[in-house]
Structure 1
Amino acid sequence: MPDARIIGKTIQDLVRSLDISRKRQGLISGNLANIETPDYHAKDLDFRESLQKAMQGGSKDLSRTHSKHYNVMEGSSPEITTAAKAGVDIDQEMANLAENNLMYRSSVESLLRKFALIKYAINEGGK
């Protein structure tokens, strides 16, 4: 992630939030695609718990050739849970889909507002 002194920790946390939403969307889509698959166990992740871990977690270094390169593996990977009983509850999956959409849209809106503040500071700061 970029240096927190430049763009702030808020943006880093919002990027993590978007990444978790993307991963959860994939799980929900997979569950819906396998709705008629016998013995399929639905998968999900707890958004809040995953975000909390990502915000507190350390970083896992890849081989970086320069200390200024972004660390793309920062934070911990979300823990995926599998349902105990086989089958997919379409009502639950649709509720999960709506919740995930709301979380994603909230994060995007917050990120846009943060960038607007930075743009305002850049444009108006020199006057």
Structure 2
Amino acid sequence: MSGTADGLFGIHTQALQLWQRRAEAIADNLANADTPGYEARDIDFRKALSQAQADDSDGVRLAADQPGMIADNSVTGAGADAPLAYRVPTQPTMDGNTVDTQIEQAAYAQNTVHYQASLNFINGYIQTLRLAINGGN
């Protein structure tokens, strides 16, 4: 999202990116539940979001590859470089796999609720702006 949208919607644009990245990590864990030696990974949401806010505290920045050029920053943001950490296994299998499908499914459901809450906030804010612009029509 653009810098204007980040300022307009506050923390929710960065949160959406992190929730999306976490959903991808959990989906990877579930997809590899039967892969020998696979270690489950997850994102520390609070740490990643606070890091993203600290990195973005300067406001909107433009990066130039060459003089007169502006880099495409569409794939960067809070979720793009969120560090994945290995989960502490509750009971790894004999083949070294640390994915517990029940924990992963619960984490995915919880992540979906958080993602939807941030999305609902943004949608509600957009509706409020439309109402203010249109004057209630």
* TM-score with structure 1 setting the length: 0.77
Determine the C-alpha separation between the residues in 1 that align with 2:8 and 2:43.
Answer: 22
Instruction: Tell me which amino acid in the other structure corresponds to 2:2.
Output: P
Aligned residues between the structures: 122
Greater length-normalized contact order (CA 8 Å, ≥ 6 residues apart): 2
Instruction: Tell me which amino acid in the other structure corresponds to 1:11.
Output: F
The alignment-based identity, stated in percent, is 26
Q: Which residue of 1 aligns with 2:121?
A: 110
Contact 1:20–1:47 (Cα < 8 Å) also in 2:
yes
Structure 1 vs Structure 2 CA RMSD: 2.9
* TM-score with structure 2 setting the length: 0.73
In the superposition, relative to structure 1, how do residues 98 and 82 fare at CA in structure 2: closer, same or farther (>3 Å)? same
Identify, as 1 or 2, the structure richer in helix: 1
For structure 1, list consecutive stretches of 5 or more residues without a partner in the other structure: none
In the superposition, relative to structure 1, how do residues 61 and 80 fare at CA in structure 2: closer, same or farther (>3 Å)? farther
Instruction: Tell me which amino acid in the other structure corresponds to 1:2.
Output: S
Secondary structure, aligned partner of 2:82: coil
Among 72, 87, 91, which residue is 1:83 paired with? 87
For structure 2, list consecutive stretches of 5 or more residues without a partner in the other structure: 90-96
